[in-house]
Amino acid sequence: MIAERPGTAEAESPKRKAILEAASRLFMAEGYGAVSMDAIARAASVSKATLYAHFGAKDRLFAAIITGACERMEREHCGALESAGLTIRETVRLVGRHWLEFMLSEPAVAVRRMVVAEGPKFPELAHAFYENGPRVSRAWLADWIAAETARGRLTCKDPECAAEQFVALFTGDLILRATLGLEPRPDPLAVDRQIDAATDTFCRAFAVGMPGLVENTAGR
């Protein structure tokens, strides 16, 4: 897992950081269900009262870890996009590469495996993951698509639907194979092919001035 980066006065608290890092290590090593709040407090060298003061329940702690990882990915996206003047195709490809590489990273794959394995037994785990991971990421993508549409570089009537399509295109079969352990470290050439194909398809559907573009009516 990837611990939350400091962003607020509360997030900068050494104790909060220690809790997040300890919980990440324990969840990765033992799974969600096997880890108690007592064990997290001991590993973080904080009292149980301090732990509950920062995070009222284990699922909230897990949610904070997922939120932190997504926030870091978004900051990296924004930094990369702001650092160069790119064409819309280059921008789509860059966003897609950042997203896919994040999803194929070992921590992200490990989290998905844990959620799939333990989610049915611990519904709060599945809920925390979905609400603070996939849903947040798609909302960021939808905002980016809406912003590019406002700039006149994309044409899209339903950014939320387009964000779902973006995720599906760039996901392909790579993430499923990685999650199942069939291809823990995807071939870089296969990743590049997936990114190129997804970029071309998305741009043909939504990018202004791209060959093959038709008026998108998603959401009507």
- Each residue's pLDDT tens digit, 36-94: 999 999 999 999 999 999 999 999 999 999 988 888 877 776 666 665 688 999 999 99
pTM: 0.80
CATH architecture group of domain 14-206: Orthogonal Bundle (1.10)
Residue 6 predicted with pLDDT over 70? no
Domain ranges of the chain: 14-206
pLDDT the model gives residue 8: 41
pLDDT digits (tens, 9 = 90+) for 182-211: 987 888 999 999 999 999 999 999 999 876
Residue 16 has pLDDT above 80, yes or no: yes
DSSP for the chain reads --PPPP-STTTT-HHHHHHHHHHHHHHHHH-STT--HHHHHHHHT--HHHHHHH-SSHHHHHHHHHHHHHHHHHHHHHHHHHTS---HHHHHHHHHHHHHHHHTSHHHHHHHHHHHHHTTT-HHHHHHHHHHTHHHHHHHHHHHHHHHHHTTSB--S-HHHHHHHHHHHHHTTHHHHHHHTSSSS--HHHHHHHHHHHHHHHHHHHBTT-TT-----TT-
pLDDT one-digit tens code per residue, 137-187: 999 999 999 999 999 999 999 999 999 999 999 998 999 999 999 987 888
